[in-house]
Chains A and B, each alone.
Chain A
Amino acid sequence: MKPLYVRTGTAPICESMLCVLCSASHSAIRLRSTFVVTNLSLERVDAMERSLLRYIWSHTRRQQLWILLVVAASMVPYFLAFDLPKQIVNGPIQGNGFEATDARQPFFRIAYELPLIGHVELANGIDLDRPQTLMALSTVFLVLVLINGLFKFYINTYKGRLGERMLRRIRFELVDRVLRFPPKHFKRLKSAEIATMVKDEVEPLGGFTGDAFVLPALLGGQALTTLGFIFVQNVWLGTITAGIVTIQLSIIPRMRRRVLELGRLRQLTARELSGRVSEIVDGIGAVHSNDTSNLERADIAWRLGRIFSIRYDLYQWKFLVKFINNLFSQVTPFIFYAFGGYFVLLGKLDLGQLVAVIAAYKDLPSPLKDLIDWDQARQDVQLKYGSVCDQFSVEPLIAQSVHELASGPVALLETSVVVRNLTLVDDSGARLLDDVSTEIKPDETVALVGAAGSGAEAFAEALGRLIWPESGSMMIGDRNLLEIPESITGRRISYASGEPFLLHGSLMDNLLYGLKHAPQPNVAASDENPAELQRYAAEARKAGNVVFVPSGDWVDYQSVGANGPDDLLRKILPILDAVQISDDIFGLTLRSTLDAEVYPIISERIAELRLSLRKRLVEERLEDLLVPFDFDRYNIQASIGENLLFGTRSQRIVDDKDMVAHPYFQLLLETTGLDRGLYDMGLEIAETAVELFRDLAPQHSFFRRLTFMTAEEIPVYQATLSRCRGQHFEEVSSEDRASITVLSLSYIEPSHRFGLLSEALMERLVAARKLFHTDIPDDMASLIDRHDPERFTASATLLDNVLFGRVAHQVADAAEHIRTIMKELFSALGLYENALAIGLQFDVGAGGKRLALAQRQKLNLARALLKHSDFTILNRPLSALDQRIEEEITRCIIQQRSDMKRASAVLWVISDPHIARIFDRVLLFQRGSLIGSGDYLELSQSNAAFRELMELQSRRL
Chain B
Amino acid sequence: MLSDEVKTLREVPIFASIEPAKLKLLAFACDRVTYRQGQDLCRQGDQGDAAYVLLSGAADVIVSSAAGDIRVAEVGPNAIVGEMSVLCNIPRTATVRATSKLEALRISKDHFLALTSEFPEVAAEIMRTLATRLSRTTAELANARLSPPTH
Contact mask for chain A residues 679-697; partner B; CB cutoff 8 A; 1 contact, 0 none:
0000000000001110010
In this complex, how many residues of chain B approach chain A with their Cβ under 8 Å: the count is 30
Query: Would A702 and B25 count as touching, CB distance under 8 A?
Result: yes
Kindly name the residue among B2, B43, B93 whose own CB sees the greatest number of chain A CB atoms within 10 A. Answer: B2
Q: CA–CA, A754 to B111, complex, Å?
A: 20
Answer whether A700 and B114 are a contact pair too, CB < 8 Å, given A691-B21, A813-B39, A884-B46: yes
Q: Which residues of A contact B39 (CB under 8 A)?
A: 812-813
Whether A755 lies near B21 (C-beta < 8 A) is no
Q: With the chains together, A883 CA to B45 CA distance in Å?
A: 6
User: How long is the Cα–Cα vector from A813 to B104 in the complex, in angstroms?
Assistant: 12
Residues 699-717 of chain A: 1 if any B CB is under 8 Å from the residue's CB, otherwise 0?
0111001000000000000
In the complex, what distance in Å separates the CA atom of A701 from the CA atom of B108? Answer: 10
- The yes or no answer to A809 lying at the interface (CB within 8 A) is yes
- Interface positions, chain B 1-32, Cβ under 8 Å from A, are 1-3, 5, 21, 24-25, 27-29, 31-32
Which residues does chain A contribute within 8 Å of B24, judged by CB atoms? 692
> B25 to chain A: which residues have CB within 8 Å?
692-693, 696, 702
Given contacts A692-B24, A692-B25, A754-B1, contact A701 B34 (CB under 8 A): no
Identify the closest chain B residue to A881 (Cβ): B47
The distance in angstroms between the C-alpha atoms of A700 and B24, with both chains bound, is 16
B141 within 8 A of A: no
B residues near A752, Cβ cutoff 8 Å: 28
Chain A residue nearest to B52 (CB atoms) is: A812
- Closest A-chain residue to B31, C-beta based? A809
Distance of A957 Cα from B28 Cα, bound (Å): 33
Complex-state Cα separation, A953 to B47, whole angstroms: 16
Cα-based distance from A750 to B33 in the complex (angstroms): 10
A812 and B34: CB pair below 8 A? yes
- When A692-B25, A812-B34, A813-B39 are in contact, do A753 and B111 touch as well, CB less than 8 Å? no
Measured between beta carbons, the chain B residues less than 8 angstroms from A705 are 28-29
What number of residue pairs across chains A and B have CB atoms under 8 A from each other? Answer: 63
B32 touches A753 (CB 8 A): yes
- Which residues 87-131 of B sit at the A interface, judged by CB distance below 8 A? 90-91, 93, 104, 106, 110-111, 114
Q: Please name the residue on chain B nearest to A814 by beta carbon.
A: B33
Partner of A882, one of B28, B41, B91: B91
A810→B33 contact, CB < 8 A: yes
Assess whether A883 is in contact with B1, with CB atoms less than 8 Å apart: no
Q: Are A810 and B45 in contact (CB under 8 A)?
A: no
Interface residues of A in 832-875 (CB under 8 A from B): none
B33 → A minimal CB distance (Å): 4
**Residues in chain B near residue A809, CB distance under 8 A:** 31-32
CB of A811 within 8 A of chain B?
yes
A883–B114 contact, CB under 8 A? no
Interface-centre pick from B43, B44, B91 (highest chain A CB count, 10 A)? B91
Residue of A nearest to B24 (CB): A692
Known contacts A755-B3, A810-B33: does B21 contact A702 (CB below 8 Å)?
A: no
Closest CB pairs A-B (n = 10): A884-B45, A812-B33, A755-B1, A701-B110, A692-B25, A702-B29, A812-B35, A753-B2, A705-B29, A701-B114
Can you give 30 A-B contacts (C-beta < 8 A)?
Answer: A691-B21, A692-B21, A696-B25, A702-B25, A702-B29, A702-B111, A705-B28, A705-B29, A752-B28, A753-B1, A753-B5, A754-B2, A755-B2, A755-B3, A809-B31, A809-B32, A810-B31, A810-B32, A810-B33, A811-B34, A812-B104, A812-B106, A813-B39, A882-B46, A882-B47, A882-B91, A884-B45, A884-B91, A957-B91, A957-B93
> 19 new A-B pairs (CB below 8 Å) besides A692-B21, A957-B93?
A691-B21, A692-B28, A702-B29, A702-B111, A705-B29, A753-B2, A753-B5, A754-B1, A755-B1, A755-B2, A810-B32, A811-B33, A811-B34, A812-B34, A812-B35, A812-B39, A812-B41, A812-B106, A957-B91
**Chain B residues within 8 Å of A, Cβ to Cβ:** 1-3, 5, 21, 24-25, 27-29, 31-35, 39, 41, 43-47, 90-91, 93, 104, 106, 110-111, 114
